[in-house]
Amino acid sequence: MNKTAHIISHSHWDREWYLPFEKHRYYYIQLMNNLIEQFKKDGNDFQSFHLDGQTVLLEDYFAVHPENRDIVKQMIKEKKLHIGPWYVLQDAFLTSSEANVRNLQIGLNDTKIYGPAAKIGYFPDTFGIYGQAPQLLKQAGIDTAAFGRGVKPTGFNNTVSDTLNFESPYSEMLWESPDGSSVLGILFANWYSNGNEIPVDEEEAKAFWDQKLQDAEKYASTNQLLFMNGCDHQPLQKTIPEAIETATSLYPDYQFKHSSFEEYTEELKASLPDQLQVIKGELRNQRTDGWSTLVNTASSRIYLKQWNNLCQTLLEKIAEPLATMQYLAGGTYPREYIRFMWKSLMKNHPHDSICGCSVDEVHREMVTRFETVSQMGDVFVKEKAGELAESIDTSQAPAGGIPLVVMNTTGWEKNEVVTKVVDLEKVYFSQMHFEEIPDYLQKKETPGYKLLDDEGNDVELMLGNLNIEFDYDLPNDRFRQPFFAKRAELSFFAEGIPSFGYKTFYIVPTETQEQKHDEETKNTGEMHNTVFKMENEYVHMHFHEDGTYDLTHKKTGERFYRLGIYEDTGDVGNEYMYKEAENHAPITTKGVPAVFNLIEKDNLRTVLEFTHTLSIPVSADDYLASERHKLIWHKERKAGRSAEMTSLTLRTVVTLEKGMKGPSFKLMIDNQATDHRLRVLFPTGLKTETHMVDSIFEIATRPNTPEKEWENPSFCHHQQRFSSLADDKMGLTIATDGLQEYEILQETGTIAVTVLRSVAELGDWGYFPTPEAQCLGMQTAEWQVLPHEKDVIHSQAYVDAYQYKVPLVIVQTTIHEGRLQNTHKFVNTKSNGLVWSSMKVAEDHGDVIIRWYNPSEAKDSLKVTIGDYESYKSTILEEKTNQKEDVYNVGKYEIISLGFIKKR
């Protein structure tokens, strides 16, 4: 016997996809019940089942069958049922760096309740994987990863097609991160279904195994062959013991084994050849014809990506660091609540969910889940910020002063214009009959106000939109307290707000009468065909009639010309892939006059609005419907665009504030057309071969043009927060808010960012209509344009790009004594250019954990101090190591987590 056939029983369980969650769960419950029944049987020799690498499936089962908790635990303990390490099978590129870490932390934490975890980085169906995955897994003590895509071409039916474009000759390879960490990579070269439905009947088994053994041996580098007995939502094959018996009798040279990943990888590692192919960095199907990469899930239902960016930012960049600051100030850290928020959010992270490639019901449920996460995050931040403000000593406030605490929850100092609705005067229902309060407040004279910083310096303020409004307090020891307040919108430039810290300002009444409201200083009005300019201390903008603008970087005088063209093309593809409608030139706003309207111009900001009305085809032509019904593969589709036209109204609001390194944009699209894609184009004119892009714990460098095998005319990519082009002198970075697809158009050095994609079917193995993926009605898109010297890393423009859409937290508090000073910085950090990622308290102990990564190939160092805490180097799983330094060396592209423990 010289060869072993490892048969691993499993079912790849997309929680929601071509059916909504509860419908898929119905079948999943049956699978689990069958599995339990099988294990219970006397003399059963069903050895092992792999529960798809995601612990959420246990929650999904116990919600219906809590009475089976013990027997399932027993199965896990006996290593019959293999669980973890992830919480969900997430999309790797459309969820944040931290979400990818938390998915592992929370999944492994769950396994502690149930039993041992499968120590394998399991990415069976993941639509491409980020390059830092080996480093992340290595830091979690996992040295093997298994994946189905990224290295070799995949076909429509999800099988790896039989071409010679190998990147690895074997299904086994070494996969290496940019920092040099590597893991053993196992490619499901014949997909994760290559051992599905194994026949028991001798004749059928012979035909099956003759083919399957040959297929596996074609790629296997050892005599250990892997057969995955399962597929998507595959019911349990109870007859595996009998099927193994048949196979054993047919092939005496093979040992057939009902195996697990643990057994398989152990035997595999013992027999690996000395030389395995090393695959470096991102796995993105780049050595394929480009028609099956599934990359355009990055622009399917963009509203989901926007929701996700909002919720991720709320949890990881605001709620957690804020709660940690409050913890360092002596408060408690509600880790269970935070974990619950994360779990709720991560239920939207499975690949078929966040990718927007499911049926409409699925995505409607997702919006509700996002809403609940943002509700939890909002109340959490409000309460935690209030608690922190309570600990600050504001007793030295000037007479009549209203303290306003501006909190920075990020790892970088902030200087930005903030706007906050403040209560200038409040009357509780307990103080006066409620019907009388509005009149009382209305009649009461409003004084003028000035704003002082923590050192008593005057800060320029704008106060407007005076209103009398109902509201209430919810004290934690008394009944609710309703009141009316005289409110105003306060704007000012919050300068030097320390990282992981706060600064207190005071609104102080002045002798003078009610000051001029900002409306009076606003200079508004409609403008037609007029040259319009915007300027702050960093950039100058000159607008053209068609809404494009020349952007000057003031420090160098370098200029980019005619940025911001909108481009509309037909899309006859599906939720997975974009397919441009043939023989229809793109329709753009180039030369199409826009209607301009100046909204605001004062010392703090200029806001300009312009509107385009673009005439575009109302839909694809009639041919598309028949192509969809006949399941014509997107690549082969001949459908064009309809001759009937409709108007697409594009309203763009540009804002340039004091302190901003570049203008920010909000586009409002009134989408009345179907089957199309809208992008915003930034023709930089820069001549480069590569560009840089924000990925997972990495600012990746990618080529502007594809490999020779690539046939798809479209060469789109995923991004997290930004993409960037630069030559030796200048660069342009586009930071976005949940816009996760871009393309580089090499000829003009253009960054093209997708702002809307409208399609009407799922794609994949059948016809599943998804009319809501047309995204009709009002859609929005937001981005910031950042010009800079050199590239995004050397200029550290990434700091601004990462800070985009991460707001300061502003709390109005009362005058009271407290333990904390007016202005404080909880954490002091020093490095040349590390990227801050998170700050939290550990999942199962009381140490503070802060994480950064090095975006560069240059080594860096990191010195961090927190009051009476001492630091140590932590693993990514928040385990303590013996490494304690004053200054930590940080290797190229290293992800570094430090733990902080209170000195005794």
Nearer to Zn ion, 125 or 761 (CB): 125
Report in angstroms how near the CB of residue 24 gets to Zn ion at its nearest: 11
Report in angstroms how near the CB of residue 141 gets to Zn ion at its nearest: 26
Answer positive or negative: Cα dihedral of 36, 38, 40, 44.
negative
Angle ∠(695,699,701) on CA atoms, nearest 5: 100
Q: What's the burial of 296, exposed, middle or buried (CB within 10 Å: 0-12/13-18/19+)? A: buried
Report in angstroms how near the CB of residue 194 gets to Zn ion at its nearest: 16
Q: What's the burial of 275, exposed, middle or buried (CB within 10 Å: 0-12/13-18/19+)? A: exposed
> Residue 435: which residues within 8 A CB-CB, separation 6 or more?
none
Which candidate in 110, 125, 546, 860 is catalytic? 125
Cβ(504)–Cβ(496) under 8 Å?
A: no
**CA–CA distance, 861 with 850 (Å, rounded to integer):** 15
List the beta bridge partners of residue 526.
597
Q: Collapsing DSSP states into helix, strand and coil, what is residue 347?
A: coil
Nearer to Zn ion, 357 or 753 (CB): 357
Cβ(875)–Cβ(881) under 8 Å?
A: yes
Strand-strand pairing, 532-535 and 750-758: unpaired
Query: Binders of Zn ion among 672-731, rule CB under 5 A?
Result: none
For residue 512, count other CB atoms closer than 10 A to its CB: 10
Cβ(92)–Cβ(350) under 8 Å?
A: no
Nearer to Zn ion, 235 or 685 (CB): 235
Report in angstroms how near the CB of residue 88 gets to Zn ion at its nearest: 11
Q: Which helix (H) or strand (E) holds 403?
A: strand 402-408
Binding window for Zn ion (CB under 5 A); candidates: 12-20, 256-264, 360-368, 461-469: 12-20
**CA–CA distance, 294 with 156 (Å, rounded to integer):** 10
Query: What's the per-residue H, E or C state across 419-433?
Result: EEEEEEEEEECCCCC
Nearer to Zn ion, 231 or 441 (CB): 231
List the beta bridge partners of residue 870.
901
Nearer to Zn ion, 50 or 679 (CB): 50
Residues touching Zn ion, count (CB under 5 A): 2
Nearer to Zn ion, 348 or 619 (CB): 348
Report in angstroms how near the CB of residue 12 gets to Zn ion at its nearest: 6
Binding window for Zn ion (CB under 5 A); candidates: 9-17, 241-249, 258-266, 806-814: 9-17
**CA–CA distance, 123 with 103 (Å, rounded to integer):** 12
Binding window for Zn ion (CB under 5 A); candidates: 6-14, 67-75, 269-277, 709-717: 6-14
Q: Does 14 bind Zn ion (CB under 5 A)?
A: yes
HSE toward the beta carbon, residue 577, CA cutoff 13 A: 23
Cα Rg, the chain, nearest whole Å: 29
Report in angstroms how near the CB of residue 500 gets to Zn ion at its nearest: 39
Cβ(585)–Cβ(598) under 8 Å?
A: no
Q: Does 764 bind Zn ion (CB under 5 A)?
A: no
Report in angstroms how near the CB of residue 352 gets to Zn ion at its nearest: 6
Residue 471 vs residues 372, 403, 429, 483, 491: alpha-carbon distances, Å: 22, 19, 11, 6, 21
Query: Binders of Zn ion among 119-138, rule CB under 5 A?
Result: 125
Binding window for Zn ion (CB under 5 A); candidates: 10-18, 76-84, 215-223, 890-898: 10-18
Nearer to Zn ion, 125 or 741 (CB): 125
**CA–CA distance, 491 with 417 (Å, rounded to integer):** 7
Nearer to Zn ion, 103 or 664 (CB): 103
Q: Which of 874, 855, 867, 831 is nearest to 412 (CA)?
A: 831
Q: Which of 354, 484, 378 is nearest to 430 (CA)?
A: 484
Binding window for Zn ion (CB under 5 A); candidates: 14-22, 45-53, 144-152, 528-536: 14-22
Nearer to Zn ion, 14 or 60 (CB): 14
Report in angstroms how near the CB of residue 62 gets to Zn ion at its nearest: 22
Cβ(189)–Cβ(146) under 8 Å?
A: no
First to last CA, the chain: 61
Cβ(739)–Cβ(720) under 8 Å?
A: no
Nearer to Zn ion, 155 or 241 (CB): 155
Q: What's the burial of 703, exposed, middle or buried (CB within 10 Å: 0-12/13-18/19+)? A: middle
**CA–CA distance, 518 with 524 (Å, rounded to integer):** 12
Query: What's the per-residue H, E or C state across 774-811?
Result: HCCEEEEEEEEEEEEECCCCCCCHHHHHHHCCCCCEEE
Q: Does 179 bind Zn ion (CB under 5 A)?
A: no
Nearer to Zn ion, 14 or 282 (CB): 14
Report in angstroms how near the CB of residue 763 gets to Zn ion at its nearest: 13
Nearer to Zn ion, 384 or 718 (CB): 718
Residue number closest to Zn ion, CB atom: 125
Report in angstroms how near the CB of residue 127 gets to Zn ion at its nearest: 9
Answer positive or negative: Cα dihedral of 409, 413, 416, 421.
positive
Report in angstroms how near the CB of residue 17 gets to Zn ion at its nearest: 7
Report in angstroms how near the CB of residue 14 gets to Zn ion at its nearest: 4
- 42 catalytic per annotation: no
Residues designated as active site: 125
Residues binding Zn ion (CB under 5 A): 14, 125
